[in-house]
Amino acid sequence: MKRYIIRRFIFGIVVVWIVSVMIFLATRIGPDPALMIASPGADEAELNSIRDRFGLNEPLPVQYYIFIKKALRADFGESIYYGLPVADIVWQRLPATLMLVGTAKLISLGFGILAGVLAARRRTGWTNNFLRWFSFLGLSMPNFWIAMLLILIFSVKLKLLPTGGYGTFWHLLMPAFSLGWYFSAGYTRLTESSLLQVLNSEYIKLCRVKGLTELSVVGKHGLKNALIPVVTLAGMNVVLMISGAVAVEMVFAWPGLGLLMYHGAIYRDFNVVQAVILFISVFMVFMNLAVDILYAYLDPRIRYD
Amino acid sequence: MEIERIWRSRKIMFLTLLVILQFGSFAVSAAPPEGILKQAIHWSFSSDWLDPATGSFPIPAYHPLYLFHDALLKPMPEGLYTPSLAESWTTSPDARVYEFKIRKGVKFHNGDFLTAEDVVFSFLRYKGSLAKTIHGKLEKVEAVGPYSVRVRFKEPFPEFLEFLLPGATTFGWIVPKKYVEKVGDAGFKKHPVGAGPYKFVEIVPGVKLVGEAFDDYWRKVPHIKRMEFYNIPEPATRLAMVKRGEADIATLLQGVFYEDLKKTPSLRMLAPLSPVRWIAYPAAQWDPKSPWADPRVRLAASLAIDRQTLADVHMPGCGPVSSIGLEGDPMAVDFPPYPYDPEKAKKLLAEAGYPKGFSAGKFYPYQGGYWPYGEQIATYWKAVGITVETVLLDKPALLAMREGGKMKGGIFIDNPTSPTIGGRLSTLFSGGSYGNYPDIQTLWEQYRKETSPKGRKDLITRIQKLIYERTMWIPLTSTNSPAAIGPRVKGNPYRIQPLIWFTAPFEDVELVH
């Protein structure tokens, strides 16, 4: 196991390095970012001054070397648009994204697992139909569309929840639900199928023969094994959630990394885009490693050599 | 007895005088600021915009400047060159020396009083847009007294005051010398101090900006205690916030949101004009072999466009324009708008040798949200036989192509945004120019050197007439920025149109009590 972790760690560093090269090149393919922030009709002297400020006049390999050297010290340069250190802006926005993704994860897992258990236990009837349709809707509708519908219903018509922004639990509800609904659908289906499989196994029959309550059979003995694939999926989905948060953060003006990346893209603020994508890729690598380790812990049959 | 009577009457007079003075002081002092105004705005704030000396300044960047800072002169409801921190100024006949008389008693937010030293410091500190141009021309800046500043240029600089306007530079916006020297540039950007109507409270770049009323603002005490601006990128969310009362003003609501706003009786719609004047610029006219080189073809293209319908569909509240000058610009000339006459357009094309029309090359409408505007123009042209190949580019790609001279042989929609006609013509004739007529270029060069105001007015009028007569470019419509105004906001808070399309002057904005 130790060797496996070390191997995965080294592999993760290689992946992050490849991502850094790709994002560096991708952000420099586009038009000159100096044009985006210069005054209209700016002369070449002014454009050059902007380019000098951000090191854009250096050859690409030199720019990359400077970028990587600084990145290793968590210094991602200055935001071309905001005029502040990128690291400061990212750290400022990170808690909001973690809060949103964390809450969305709780909602999606909580609802998804509960719904999956219900669906597995009641194979027919209105409960099962409702859960199927609810999952289907969550998978079909884009999250920004869900976000707008929620605003229309709960903010504008019913005036129950704040429209956008950040600050209280009530600000968090709609964005987290918009983000989490899609993922809960996946957890519902996976929990249902996985639990059905587990409930057919011999050890479950033995539990029932021994006279254990149904709650104990399903909740204690069945779910523990049924949730293994769900845990794996949940771990991988964290990264998808962070990238999926862009549209949700934009609709709700939720001040997280997604909104920051959106602004970075439209203002050609490549320092910001690089930093956010690098952060997500590092997070993804370590999240995947953590999921694998957790997987081995949950299922003793799994061993990494 | 007599003495007692006299003393009594004098006591009464004295007491009466005291009461009058007291009442007078109550009448003169303004009510303290109160209330909070929240705006959901479509643009994102940069920390660079908090310091007038740094960065480049598109028009939205003047928002924090009008909020926290003040300038020697700036556009106000009274006019384009309204004296602010400078009470008055003089220009030498050769336009090399400018002297500014600084207003006395002006305080910065930290309590420091404004003096000529702060002005000199701010001028010399400036490193923003066109800094190299201005500092290159500058010979000397000096305080000639505590409230007088003299600026001397190496050569005549008749456009200097135009350079101080929004859209040109922020050279004339003044910061407190002692404070900046104490905290440094980085510290100043974190917590700016200015002489504007509001004190800086907080900025979260890309998220919000907050200011609190400065009771000692020289012009007047602001009505509203606290102003909060939230960057809300999605127009549906901005509109929802105003409907729900979470914001008092939501900016830039176009298309379906504008239609929805019209159906919401609790909200008002105001559409402040913006300084943008769209033109279709046939860069292909400089190729003698191109049909666009014929002025009849350019006139035909102009007559083919129904500008009023174009405005009604895409810029409700706007209308046709005949030049790129703004209202209020004393040097801009207004011409009769080109009528919508597709039949005459076809005749002109036939006279020019294109009775069946022609293939007119690539057409580049302006960025993203304005593509439908450009596509409608292409449709008008197609109706008279001018067929274009529309190329849709987003803003950075468009700017890169335009500035890189890669739109030769095509037509593009342009929007010179300098504050004055001189600045706009400079954008189109200088650096990024695709070409010019020799006689117009000669007049332009004369204009650049001319120092007498009458002479400059005469030259620039002649230039504008020639441009109009030759349809050198095709003026389209004015533009605006429709906003939803909530019931708490009194009157029209947009008072410096069209150059400033946010709610300025901020100290004038009022809430309904």
pLDDT at B3 over 80: no
Q: Is A39 on the interface with B (CB under 8 A)?
A: yes
Mean pLDDT, residues B298-315: 94
The answer to whether the Cβ–Cβ distance between B207 and A253 falls below 8 Å is yes
B47-204: CATH topology? Dipeptide-binding Protein; domain 1 (3.90.76)
CA distance B170 to B196: 14
- Structure confidence at residue A128 as a pLDDT band (50, 70, 90): confident
Mean pLDDT, residues A128-133: 82
The answer to whether the Cβ–Cβ distance between A155 and B431 falls below 8 Å is no
- The string of pLDDT tens digits covering residues B408-439 is 888 998 887 788 899 889 878 876 578 889 99
The answer to whether the Cβ–Cβ distance between B205 and A82 falls below 8 Å is yes
Mean pLDDT, residues B480-493: 94
- Domain limits, CATH 3.90.76.10, in chain B: 47-204
> Which chain A residues are closer than 8 Å to B486 by Cβ?
none
Domains and CATH numbers, chain A: 2-71 (no CATH), 92-298 (1.10.3720.10)
The answer to whether the Cβ–Cβ distance between A31 and B48 falls below 8 Å is no
Chain A nearest-CA distance from B370, in A, is: 16
Tell me the torsion sign for CA atoms B163, B165, B171, B174: positive
Q: What is the pLDDT of residue B23?
A: 44
pLDDT at A160 over 90: yes
Return all residues near A209 (Cβ < 8 A) that are at least 6 apart: none
Element (H, E) at A149: helix A143-150
- Structure confidence at residue B328 as a pLDDT band (50, 70, 90): confident
Out of B54, B168, B231, the one facing A253 most closely (by C-beta) is B231
pTM, rounded to two decimals: 0.87
Q: What is the pLDDT of residue A304?
A: 58
Q: A218-223: long-range contacts at Cβ-Cβ below 8 A with a sequence spacing of 24 or more?
A: A218/A117, A218/A121, A222/A195, A222/A198, A223/A113, A223/A117, A223/A195
CATH of domain B274-480: 3.10.105.10
Out of A49, A50, A163, the one facing B246 most closely (by C-beta) is A163
CA distance B123 to B137: 13
Chain A nearest-CA distance from B136, in A, is: 12
- Domain limits, CATH 3.10.105.10, in chain B: 274-480
pLDDT at B485 over 80: yes
Interface mutation target, options B42, B46, B276, chain A, most CBs of A under 10 Å:
B46
**Residue A113 or residue A46, greater confidence:** A113
DSSP string spanning B111-175? SPBP-HHHHHHHHHH--STTHHHHHHHEEEEEESSTTEEEEEESS--TTHHHHTSTTT--TTEE-
Average pLDDT, chain B: 90
- The string of pLDDT tens digits covering residues B4-32 is 555 555 655 555 555 444 444 433 446 89
pLDDT at A122 over 70: yes
The answer to whether the Cβ–Cβ distance between A40 and B167 falls below 8 Å is yes
CA distance B285 to B303: 17
Out of A50, A82, A166, the one facing B46 most closely (by C-beta) is A82
DSSP string spanning A48-113? HHHHHHTTTTS-HHHHHHHHHHHHTTT---B-TTT-SBHHHHHHHHHHHHHHHHHHHHHHHHHHHH
The answer to whether the Cβ–Cβ distance between A42 and B56 falls below 8 Å is yes
Q: Is A263 on the interface with B (CB under 8 A)?
A: yes
The answer to whether the Cβ–Cβ distance between B246 and A162 falls below 8 Å is yes
Mean pLDDT, residues A200-225: 83
